[in-house]
Every structure is written in C-alpha cells, then in structure tokens.
Structure 1
Amino acid sequence: MAVNTSTLGIFVLVYLLAVFYCGWLAYKRTKDVEDYMLAGRKVNPYILALSYGAAFISTAAIIGFGGVTGTLGLGTLWLVFMNIFVGIFIAFVVFGARTRRIGLNLGAVTFPELIGRRFQSRFIQGYSGALIALFMPLYAGIVLIGGARFMETALSIDYNIAVLILIVIVAAYVITGGLLAVMYTDALQGTLMFVGMSILLVLTYTKLGGVVEAHQALTNLAPLVPESLAAGGHQGWTAMPVFGSPIWWTMVSTIILGVGIGVLAQPQLAVRFMTVDSKKSLNRAVFAGGPFILMMAGVAYIVGGLSNVHFFNTVGMISIDVAKGNLDLIMPEYINSAMPELFVIFFMITLLAAAMSTLSSQFHTMGTAIGHDFYREFLMKGNAGNTVTVTKFGIIVTIIFSVILAYILPISIIARATAIFFGLCAAAFLPMYIGALFWKRMTKEGAIASLVVGTFSSLFWLAFVHIKEAAPLGICKALFGTDTLLTGTWTVVDPILIAFPLATIAAVSVSLMTKQPSKEHLNTCYGKKF
C-alpha cells in the first residue's frame, strides 16, 4: 500500500521542523570542544535515557531483528531481557558511574580517550579510534538500510533515493551541533518511537483478536515451518529451536549473547555516561531507559513474530515467503499491509526517528574517533589544537562510506551486521574497558594485548570459521580451497564466544606479568579514596 504523499509530506515537514529546532538550540548552546564532544557534561537524566535508548534501538532492531523473529520465532525475546538487564541496568548502575567519574578525573571527552588515558597509551586511543572509523560504517550502513527499506515500501520510491533523503537530513544537524544536537534530537525522536511502538502493539493485538488468541494462532502455525528451517532446528514461532542445532547456536550465540553483551562496549553509548553531572542522574535514567527498551525491542520482536498470523490469515503464506526471502522486508510488508494508512504515515516518522537517532550518534562517534582520537592524540601527539573542523570532516567521510555500504550490502543483512559489530566491540574493547574501570592491577601492556587479540581473533573467526560470513567473503576458499577451516558445530558458533575469552585471558595474563600503574596515576584516575 502506497501512502498519500501529501499527507505524509505534512507529517514529515512538522517532524523535520521540530528536529531542526532541537538542532538549532544545541548549536546555540555549543560554545567549546567539551560542548561539541560531551554536551557540556550537564545533560538531564530523562534526555540521557531517551538518547541512550534511541541510539541503541534503531531500525536495526525494529526492521532487522523484527524480521529475524518473523523467521526464527519469539526466542529473540531473550535478547530483550539482555537489552534491559545488561544494556540498561548493568550499563548504567555498574559501568556508568565509574565511567563518568574516571572520564571527569582524566578530562576524557571520548570513549577511546577514556581508555587511552587510563592506561597512559596514545596507541590504545589511536588504535581504538581507527577501529571505530573502519568498522562502525558497517553498522551505520545497515541502519540506513532499515529506514530506506520502509520508505521504499511505503512511498513506492527508489531505494537509492530513500537512502539519500535519510542521510542528508541527519548530516545537517550532526555536523553543526555536535553531541548536544544529537542528544536533544534523540530525546524528541525517542518519544516518537515510544508512542509509535505502543500504538503498533495495540493495533496488532486488536487485529489478531487479542493477546491470547494471537499467540495461540502463532503456535498453531508450527506445521508450516519450511523444511529448510525445520532441518536447522526450528520448532515453531513460539518455541526455542532444538538445543545445539544450527538455528539454536545462531539465536543464542549470535543474537542473544553477541548483541546482548556487546552493548556494554559500544563507544557511542558508553560516551553518554560522561555527559551527566552525577551518579544520581545515571540512576534516575534507569527508570526511563528500562521501559523504553522494553517497548521498543519487545514490541518489534513480538510484532515480527505475529506477522506470520496476519499473512497466513490474509494471503495463506508465512512472513518469509511474503518477503520473498528477504528478512529485512518482513516488518515493512506487515505494517504497510496490515495497518491503517494514517498509522503507516506516523510509523514512517517513527522509523525516521529511529534511524536518525542512531545514525547521528554513530556519525558523531566516528567523527570524533577520526578527528580527536586518531588525528589529534595519536598522529599529532596531542599538539593539533582545536580539532572540531577535522572531526566534522571525519563525519563527512564516514557518512560517504556508510552510504556506499547501504547500496552494496546484500539482502537480509541488518541483524547479522549488527551482531558482527557488537561482537567485535565486545571482543576488542570490553575486557580492556572492564579492567580500566574495576581492576587497578591491569596494565598498559595487558590492555594492548587484549585489544589486539580481541580484534584479530574476532576477525579471523569471521573470515575463516563462521559460515555466515566466511562463505560469502570467500577468503578461506581462495586460500585453502574450503569455505571454513573447521566443520560441524564450530561453523555456527559466534566469534564472541571465542574472541572475548581469548582477549580476557590476554588482558589478565599479560597484566600479571608486567608492572602495574603507579599509585599516583591510579589516584588520578579513581580519586584518592581508591
């Protein structure tokens, strides 16, 4: 169903005016580098919670993981639990307070700088910045895909045009207003997202006859599971896959653990802990962030699964068949065929908000990684002065790369690419980040070992063992004449289960063999009461 473009135009215009007003307010209040990088360290807890949640839950979750649930079933709801318990409670209460305090003590304005200064290493800061600049465009590219696919379906416009529309809008306020603009607009967009997903849940259950009736109907569709999925362990959309089956490993290791744990080491999220003025503000943010994630991710996954009932009732097909094998089209097809036209228009605004909030955070993080962490601190040894101009140039460069990836990445890529990036961050950054916050004995050498081992073991597993990436890349095939170096269950075990333990072992063992940081430096990091 193509929506009425004049009605949509009015909605979009009002939305964009509100977004640009928020961006303008932030621009007027951005006076120096700390404002541009960290929003002045005085962000309201409500804005922090919505900004964090809106940056975390994007079109990747709504479109990508909604499509995965429509195909593999409601087992993905365990990821919602991880998103709330790990991504909100553990992140804010356990990680957030120390991140804020150490970042303030060390004068850090980015995530790589926080780690680099804790371990007194420009290499760590520069390497981390380069890693973000090289691999975060993959994540940004799939967020672009999610928003553009819905616009393509709803407006019947060319996918490539939809990508350009999205990117031009986001670039306009991120480049000018910095993190303050990102967080102000995130708060507006997060509110829209919450309302849109709430309405979607109510309309879906109403359309399918109620909560109990809808889920019973989904359970009854188990005999329709395609043979290829049943052979992989699929037992129906309301049951977990067979324990130890390929689909079970994909759901548990890649989706639930890969994304659920990887959130703790997302640079664009961790930096937000340094934008508030107190631990109390972080604790208050939990009460807004938890319900937000529950509604955003939970609704997307539930509706994705229940889309099978709608399509079976209306066209006698399950969701993956309606989408012609493209998981990323399941949610757009469902919303455009099942929802009233006025809601389709509003939901497009919701998805625009989801895409723009995450993209703005990603572009700001990538820009600061290039301009501040890699250029100023690593290449110029801290002697480059004000690097806001270089940061803005970095944002432009990463935008271009993200758009290119959005054009060339294959179908059904959104959820998989999200898991790849989250898993890579967990392997490369998380052991080092945990050590920086909680273990005074961790040394610079241990941190470097962890960073390097985590990065390359994760990339090696992706290229040579994990079948989902190794086979399409073809590197292993070209070098060794086989799709993967290992066979059997190993080929469906996500890299995070291999790379994260290896990086942790490297961090601990090398730290214990090297000289610990001076007491004076530790006092500077943590305060004299440490």
Structure 2
Amino acid sequence: MGDALIWLGYIAAFIWLARKGQGHDAMATGRVGFVIQALAYVATYISAVALVGFGGLSYLYGMQMLLVAAGNVWLGTWFVYRYLAWPTRVCQRNLQARTPTQLLAKGHKSPLLGKALALIFAIFLGVYASAVIKGAALMLAQILPIPVWALVWIAAVVVGVVVFIGGLRGVLYTEAMQGVVMLIGIVLLIWAVLDKVGGPLEGIAQLAQLAPTPRANEGFLALSMGEQGWFIISLVMVTSVAVWSQPQMMQRHFALNSTRQINRITPLAMLVLTVLVGGTYFVAALSRLILPEIASADDVVPHLVKMLLPDVGLQVFVLAIVSASLSTATALYHIAVSAIAEDLPGKPATRFSWFLGIVFCVLVSGGSAQIKGQLIALLCTTSWSIVGATVLISYVALVRFGKRSSLAAWLSCGLGFTSCLLWYLLANKAISPTPVFGMQAALVPPFFVGLACSLVGWFVGWAFDHEGRKASTFWPAPNA
C-alpha cells in the first residue's frame, strides 16, 4: 500500500504540473520562478545515463570521475549562466525566435540552415530519446511485473501526453518536480553508503589502500595515466562543453526574465548538480569497498541500491532514476516536436501539427527502443557529441560575439556534423567494428575532431563573407 501511494502521488503531481501549461502557447514559458528554472535546467542536464552509467564508471575508475562532476558544475552550469544564458535570451527576444532552431536560422539569416538543423534535431534527438525512455523502462521493470517492451511504449506515451498537454511551460514544471525527486533519491543513497563505509574520510582512507587496477592505474584517488586518464578528460569536455549548444539546454534560457534572476538560478543549480553528480560519483567510487567484483558498470548502482536501501527507499530511488529519464525525454521530445511541427514547415505550429509531431516522436522513440541494430546504437550513443560539434561554434559566435554570417554558419555546421560522424565511423573502436584509422587516432574523441573542423569552417566562411562582416556588430552586450 505504501509503495502504491508513493507512485500514485508521483503520477498525480506529474499530471497536475503538466497542466500548468494549458492555455499557453506550446513554445512559450510565461513567467517562471528561479527555483523552477534551476531545477528544470539540472533535470534536463542529468539523465539516468549520468546517474547509473557514470556512477558505474566511478566504481571502475575511482575518484577521478569527480573531475566529470566538477566539469558539469563549473563548465556546464556556472560558465553557461555567466557567459551564455542571458545573451541567448536577449538574442531570442530581439530575433523573436520561438525555438533554438529559429534562433540560429534568424541569427545567421539563413532559413535553409534552420530547416537542415531542424531535420538533424528531429532525427538525432528523437532517436536519442529512445535510449532515455528505455532506461526508465528497465528501472520500472525492477518493481513492476510488466515486460520491458510494454513499459517502453507506456513511458513514450506518457512523455508524449505531457508535452502535448503542457507545452514548454508544462515541461519546465514537471522537470522541476522530477529534479526534487532525483535529489531525494540520491541523498538517500549517499547517506546509506557513507553510513556503511564509516563516513567520507574513513572511506577515502580505505580506498587509498586498494591496489591500482588497469583502469585506475595510479590508484583510486588519482588521475590515471595514458588512455584511461585521457578518457576521463575527454568525458569532462564532452559532457560539460558540448552541453552549451544542445537545443534543449538553449531553450531553458528562453524563460529568463532578468540578469538578477540568473544570480539566483546559478548557485541553486550548481548546488543541486553537485549533490546529484558529485554525490553519486563519490559514493559509487566508495562502493568498491562493500560490493563484490562487478563486471558491468551499469549493474553497480542498482546492486548498491538493492543491497543498502529498504523497500521504501528502493521505490524512491527508482522514482529518482525514472524522473531523470523522463525529465530528459520531455525536453528532447519538445525540441523534436518543435522541429517537426514548426521549424520544418516554416510557420507556427497548430494544435493538429503539434499532435502529429508528438505521434511521430512516440513512434520513433518507442520503436527505436525495440530495435537492436548498429545504426540505432550509433545515433543514441553519439547524438550529444554530434549535435554539439554541429552547433556550438555558430551558436557561441552569434550570442556571445554578435557575429552573423550565413556562409560561416553553413560551413561550420556542415563540417562539424560530417567530421564528427565520420570520426565515429572510421576511428572510434566502440562504434566501428573495423576502424580505418590507427590506435592513436582512435584515442581522439569525435567531439574534439568535430569541434576543430567546425571552428575551421567558421573562420573560412567568415573570411569570405564580406557582407556578413559588415552587418555584424557586437550584440547583445552580456549585461544588456
């Protein structure tokens, strides 16, 4: 009965908050308080992949994974709100852009670029949502006697209904609620692990006594040497810099009202993010002291929860992971549906086109989650890097430096997209079964390659776009 009440309360709150967006334009946020915005930003940023997948990596790599958490907090949050958030809001308002795609298309004066980006966002983020939804289904399968395939469709439909009913405003409110649930679940896990190992200082002292392993080759408290250490550094950059230009993250800045609001959002978002990712990675690293040898990183956090938390705690933690998945999925759906219903047609979405976009996303994400294939795995695994490499340079050039150029934006986005995708296919050994390039090339993350090529493309285009240079001014000022 207690478990049922927990879930019924969660569902009721979820539906009630989704209705906050009724009567509003699906692309509009209305006035939203700083607490809602901070929690929604964190919930969009952090998915089950970060909490469960990266938590398992902390078990394998040790405390060096805290560098990833630090990157998320400082580069992915503080830097964004300090240098990009308000300029994005001012650009969006000046250009009257309703979506991130329109922001880039109008900013660089190229409707065709907007359609190309809309197609990329719809496909890559729509399919990426399948991995997020499947993560929620796998967690629900731990406590519900329902097949995973059915839970996938249930989760996809629930996310679609929320986005259809609430639009962007409803998505922000439900994400904020999910951020609170995530925080409660992770705090329970942190408390249980620290109690088991005798506290943080005692746990660190015991971890220092463990012999190095191939992944933690300098011990569990230091950055590894060679490929392993480079992997951690690259993970920091991909999860903390590629996030700047993810359209679902850009869109969170559209709700800002003033720079004073940013001063409230930033410390709260940083604090919550520190607890979520910093706390999870810290106790997952300490879990090596109490867990048996576990081969799969994905099994570490679920095993830890089942071992240490009582039934009520288990239910709350499952809710936290499901919340992490659904909050990211609602953000991805909203961007993908916006691309289909408004950006590709080039006119404001109607209720019917919005509904068709929802149906498309439900079918694509739910269907993709049922398929085992290299293409689907490629899209799910690489979308974060590919989207970041495609958009980041032209986005930062526009909102931070006021540089507007159709030619530079096209070359930057085109080279960033193709080079990052090709590097995955030709060099990345995790994706390509027969890499064309050698071992040393395979160590370079595709995001780095895509970002470098995107930067080259921007400067080449900028050099040849004389009219673009004349029309560009330094706007908006960061504190305008």
TM-score above 0.5: yes
Match of 2:417 among 419, 444, 455: 455
Q: Given the alignment of the two structures, is residue 19 of structure 1 paired with residue 14 of structure 2, yes or no?
A: yes
**Distance change (3 Å), C-alpha of 1:337 and 1:389:** same
Aligned-partner residue type, residue 299 of structure 1: G
Counterparts in 2 of 1:23-42, with a 5 A limit?
Answer: 23-27=18-22, 29-30=23-24, 35-40=25-30, 42=31
- Percent identical pairs in the alignment equals 24
Match of 1:358 among 328, 337, 340: 328
C-alpha displacement of 1:307: 2.6
Aligned twin of 2:224: 241
Q: Is the 8 A contact 1:453 1:503 kept in 2?
A: yes
Q: Is the 8 A contact 1:454 1:502 kept in 2?
A: yes
Aligned-partner residue type, residue 397 of structure 1: F
**Secondary structure of 2:436 counterpart:** coil
Stretch deviating more after TM superposition (168-177 or 43-52)? 168-177
Counterparts in 2 of 1:69-218, with a 5 A limit?
Answer: 69-155=58-144, 157-218=146-207
Match of 2:389 among 427, 444, 447: 427
Stretch deviating more after TM superposition (162-171 or 504-513)? 162-171
Match of 1:438 among 397, 400, 406: 400
Q: Given the alignment of the two structures, is residue 330 of structure 1 paired with residue 295 of structure 2, yes or no?
A: no
Match of 2:265 among 285, 293, 303: 285
In structure 2, what is the Cα distance between the partners aligned to 1:409 and 1:289?
36
- The alignment's TM-score, normalised by the length of structure 2, stands at 0.93
C-alpha displacement of 1:430: 0.3
C-alpha displacement of 1:417: 7.3
**Distance change (3 Å), C-alpha of 1:513 and 1:16:** same
Stretch deviating more after TM superposition (175-184 or 511-520)? 511-520
**Secondary structure of 1:468 counterpart:** coil
In structure 1, what is the Cα distance between the partners aligned to 2:294 and 2:34?
39
Aligned-partner residue type, residue 15 of structure 2: F
Instruction: Provide Cα deviations, 1:224-263, integer angstroms capped at 9, x if missing partner.
Output: x4xxxx2x66444333222x22x2332222x211111111
Aligned-partner residue type, residue 5 of structure 2: I
Match of 1:259 among 232, 239, 242: 239
Aligned twin of 2:231: 250
Counterparts in 2 of 1:515-530, with a 5 A limit?
Answer: 515-517=466-468, 526=476
Matched residue count = 478
Aligned twin of 2:294: 319
**Secondary structure of 1:23 counterpart:** helix
Aligned-partner residue type, residue 7 of structure 1: G
**Secondary structure of 2:32 counterpart:** coil
Q: Given the alignment of the two structures, is residue 408 of structure 1 paired with residue 386 of structure 2, yes or no?
A: no
Q: Is the 8 A contact 1:64 1:146 kept in 2?
A: no
Aligned-partner residue type, residue 10 of structure 2: Y
- The alignment's TM-score, normalised by the length of structure 1, stands at 0.84
**Distance change (3 Å), C-alpha of 1:237 and 1:197:** same
C-alpha displacement of 1:405: 3.0
Unaligned runs of 5+ in 2: none
Instruction: Provide Cα deviations, 1:454-477, integer angstroms capped at 9, x if missing partner.
Output: 000000000111111112xxxxxx
In structure 2, what is the Cα distance between the partners aligned to 1:78 and 1:118?
35
C-alpha displacement of 1:178: 0.4
In structure 2, what is the Cα distance between the partners aligned to 1:291 and 1:104?
29
In structure 2, what is the Cα distance between the partners aligned to 1:156 and 1:249?
42
C-alpha displacement of 1:373: 1.2
C-alpha displacement of 1:290: 0.6
In structure 1, what is the Cα distance between the partners aligned to 2:163 and 2:112?
27
In structure 1, what is the Cα distance between the partners aligned to 2:400 and 2:253?
16
Instruction: Provide Cα deviations, 1:403-435, integer angstroms capped at 9, x if missing partner.
Output: 233333589x99x97762221122100001011
Q: Given the alignment of the two structures, is residue 494 of structure 1 paired with residue 445 of structure 2, yes or no?
A: yes
C-alpha displacement of 1:519: 6.5
In structure 2, what is the Cα distance between the partners aligned to 1:296 and 1:45?
19
**Distance change (3 Å), C-alpha of 1:162 and 1:307:** farther
Aligned twin of 1:464: 426
Q: Is the 8 A contact 2:107 2:404 kept in 1?
A: no
In structure 1, what is the Cα distance between the partners aligned to 2:26 and 2:18?
12
In structure 1, what is the Cα distance between the partners aligned to 2:302 and 2:458?
44
